[in-house]
Structures are given as C-alpha cells and as structure tokens.
Amino acid sequence: MHTGDKSFLSQPNILHWKESYTELLNKWKLYFERSDFEKAWNKATDSNPDSQIYVACNYCGKHVSNAKFLASRGTRFMGGSLAMQSSITSCPSCRKPLPRCSICLTHLGARPEETNFQNWLSWCMSCKHGGHAQHLLDWFEEHHECPVADCKCICNV
C-alpha cells in the first residue's frame, strides 16, 4: 500500500480501481483478502471503515439494494417508504434469484414496500442461513436447530 502523498488516493480513477478490485475479490469469494485490503486502504487513507452490513448477491457479489433496483426502474420514494407494488425477486445487477426465506421460501426481496420488523432480513452469523425476522422468531420459539434441512447449526444461542 502506498505510504507517500495520500491525496492521489481520493482521485476518481483510483477510487474506481479500488471499488473494482474489492468487487473482484468478493466475486472470487476472497472475503478475508478483501477485508485485509480494505483495512490497509483505510489505514493508508486515514479513513474510518464502513460499519454498515449489507446483503450481497451470491452470484455476482454486488450489493443488493432496493434503492438501486427501484432507481433503475424509475420507481419513486415517498416519505421514506417505497411506493411499489411489484416484487423484487432477483439481483438488480445480474438478475439471478435472491435467496429465499428458510421458513416460507419466498424471495427475501419480495415485499420491499413493507418495512415492518416482521419482514426484515435476519440470518445466523454461523451458518449464514436466514429469512424473515418474524418467521425465524416463530421458528426458534419451538426449535433450537437451523430450519434448513441437513444444517445442524444451533442458531438459537
């Protein structure tokens, strides 16, 4: 990582290179290497790391965002909620299907207009299986193991 003048690291072409490189590492499933690179980048640029968690497509590695999807379709935002009736069932970038809720098996982007807690995406940090928050809460009232067949993770710890 460059240790000299840090101002060039904020140039648009350098930032584009950095974003492309991190996307490539994600695509190759080199998550630890991407994390190490981002830590070194943040140290070299004296910037604070991004503390947000985001959902990435399993196929192309790009962020799955309702806002990007809706902007590409010309949908408007109204009062902080989404004004939309159609379902989002695929990645806005590659159009591959989004993951499904492990309980109801609907795509996890199926109702973007609803922002109630029950429809939030939730997942286990160990096995990475997930679903709608309310479905998982209901499941774990009676079970301790992951709802996905053949997964023996004790998610309810």
Burial classification of residue 96, based on how many CB atoms lie within 10 Å of its CB (0-12 exposed, 13-18 middle, 19 or more buried): exposed
8 A C-beta contact, residue 64 and residue 109: yes
Each residue's pLDDT tens digit, 70-100:
444 443 333 333 334 455 778 888 888 888 8
8 A C-beta contact, residue 127 and residue 134: no
Q: Which two tokens stand for residue 84?
A: 């939309």
Distance CA 111, CA 123 (A): 17
Task: Give, to the nearest 10 degrees, the angle between helix 12-27 and helix 31-45.
Answer: 160
The 3 state secondary structure assigned to 86-118 is: CCCCECCCCCCECCECCCCCCECCCCCCCCCHH
Overall pTM surpassing 0.85 (yes/no): no
Each residue's pLDDT tens digit, 124-138:
888 888 888 899 999
Q: pLDDT truncated to tens, each residue of the chain (157 aa)? A: 555 566 777 788 888 898 899 888 878 878 778 878 888 888 888 766 555 666 778 788 777 765 444 444 443 333 333 334 455 778 888 888 888 889 888 887 655 455 677 777 888 888 888 888 899 999 999 998 999 988 999 987 6
Location of structure tokens 């997942």: 123
Burial classification of residue 95, based on how many CB atoms lie within 10 Å of its CB (0-12 exposed, 13-18 middle, 19 or more buried): exposed
Supply the pLDDT for residue 69. Answer: 43
Q: Which two tokens stand for residue 77?
A: 């935002």
List strand residue ranges (DSSP E) for 45-98, in order: 77-78, 81-82
